[in-house]
Amino acid sequence: MTATEAPRSGARAVDRAVYVLNCFQGGDPELSLSELAHRAGLPVSTTFRLAQALVRGRLLEQDTATDRYRIGHGLACLARPALSRLGLDAAAPHLYALAAGIKITVSLSVPDDDEALTVFQARPPVSFCHNQIPRERSPLHSSAVGHALLAHTATGAERRELFDTVRRRGFAVEEIDSAEPIRAVAVPVLGPDKQVWGALGVQARAVRLDHDLVRAVVPAMHQIAVRIGPYFHTAAGAEFGAP
């Protein structure tokens, strides 16, 4: 191997390690070696070597009873500066208080190109179920959190046709098709300069999150959105830029 080949080989190994870590995006907290290899698109032997290196680096952990892999504490420690920079450290207590008060998981999403990216979830101590977990990424044009964001940024005919209604009402609603129909509700998070930085969202089975409950939880969501808005004016705005 020549000196010029080594960096390419090293970069390829790093890329593959990132592929393995990205396998944990979504709702699966633990994955087997074969599942990792399939999702990463890598041979099992290569995936095993990468996973073991990530375990040694504390970025992954391996359950000694099942041999399944999960995100390690080391990765959580590395993420803390980013969470603080985004304002999530300051916002988290308010989000958990809201979740406990309305007994539904509260998520915070930010714009990321043409998607809404969920960057934080606060689960309630009671009345939690898997239907409350939002998708990691949602299209801006077809999701409640996306509409809450676009209502304050979309322009022209697009805005007049749909998003002015959302803006006037103050919240967006999405009906999600599933075995148990799910309803999602979102409100924007605005900074002091009225720029939108993110959206607070909740979702639950439609039979539970009915129109009466929507009317009850939206004011509480707006209240918390106002409280955390200044954190994201100074932090998330610098990170993601004004939409």
With a threshold of 0.75, does the pTM exceed it?
Answer: no
175 belongs to a structural domain: yes
Q: Are residues 33 and 90 in the same domain?
A: no
Q: Are residues 187 and 228 in the same domain?
A: yes
Q: Are residues 27 and 146 in the same domain?
A: no
Q: Which of 25, 52, 75 finishes a domain?
A: 75
106 belongs to a structural domain: yes
CATH number of the CATH domain containing 57: 1.10.10.10
Q: Which of 18, 44, 75 finishes a domain?
A: 75
Relative to beta strand 196-205, strand 106-112 is antiparallel
* Domain hosting residue 14, numbered range: 5-75
Q: Are residues 70 and 44 in the same domain?
A: yes
Q: Are residues 94 and 199 in the same domain?
A: yes
Q: Are residues 120 and 225 in the same domain?
A: yes
CATH number of the CATH domain containing 186: 3.30.450.40
Q: Are residues 127 and 213 in the same domain?
A: yes
Q: Residue 2's pLDDT is what?
A: 35
SS3 76: helix
Q: Which of 16, 41, 75 finishes a domain?
A: 75
Q: Residue 130's pLDDT is what?
A: 85
232 belongs to a structural domain: yes
154 belongs to a structural domain: yes
80 belongs to a structural domain: no
Q: What residue type is 242 in one-letter code? A: A
For the chain, which ranges sit under pLDDT 50? 1-7, 234-243
Give CA–CA dist 52/55, Å, rounded: 5
Q: Residue 73's pLDDT is what?
A: 83
Q: Are residues 119 and 216 in the same domain?
A: yes
Q: Residue 85's pLDDT is what?
A: 65
Largest CA-CA distance found in the chain, in angstroms, rounded: 69
Q: Residue 239's pLDDT is what?
A: 45
Q: Residue 155's pLDDT is what?
A: 63
Count of CB atoms situated within 10 Å of the CB of 127: 15
Q: Are residues 132 and 229 in the same domain?
A: yes
Q: Are residues 25 and 110 in the same domain?
A: no
195 belongs to a structural domain: yes
Q: Residue 164's pLDDT is what?
A: 78
Q: Are residues 214 and 129 in the same domain?
A: yes
Could you tell me which residues come within 8 angstroms of residue 143 by beta carbon, excluding any fewer than 6 positions away?
116, 135, 174, 184, 186
Between the two ends of the chain, the Cα-to-Cα distance in Å is 47
| Contact in structure between 192 and 230 (CB atoms under 8 Å) | yes
The total domain count for the chain is 2
Q: Are residues 165 and 233 in the same domain?
A: yes
Count of CB atoms situated within 10 Å of the CB of 226: 13
| Structure token pair of residue 23 | 């396998």
81 belongs to a structural domain: no
Give CA–CA dist 122/91, Å, rounded: 10
